[in-house]
Amino acid sequence: MNTIIFALSITIVAGALGACAPVQLARSDVDGRIVCNSDRMDQVERAARRENREVHWINCPLATLRVAS
């Protein structure tokens, strides 16, 4: 009886976790997508800290994702 309940609970938990898994993005989904350029933002913020300045972002710098062939 306990084994059946244990097996059933593992199945339910595995199903719930599987339902929460992110969908794999295809090459066509990613190529050409415009996103915030976090690398450029990091460079600007590091330079500002070195120069003892403040940075207030209104809009983030944009980057277009390209998938290598």
| pLDDT for the residue 69 | 67
Dist. CA 61–CA 44, nearest whole Å: 10
Q: Show pLDDT as tens, one digit a residue, over the chain (69 residues).
A: 678 888 888 888 777 666 666 777 777 777 888 889 999 999 999 999 999 999 999 999 998 888 876
| pLDDT for the residue 18 | 67
Dist. CA 6–CA 21, nearest whole Å: 23
| pLDDT for the residue 45 | 95
Note the pTM of the prediction, 2 decimals. 0.54
| pLDDT for the residue 31 | 82
- Single-letter code of the amino acid located at 58: I
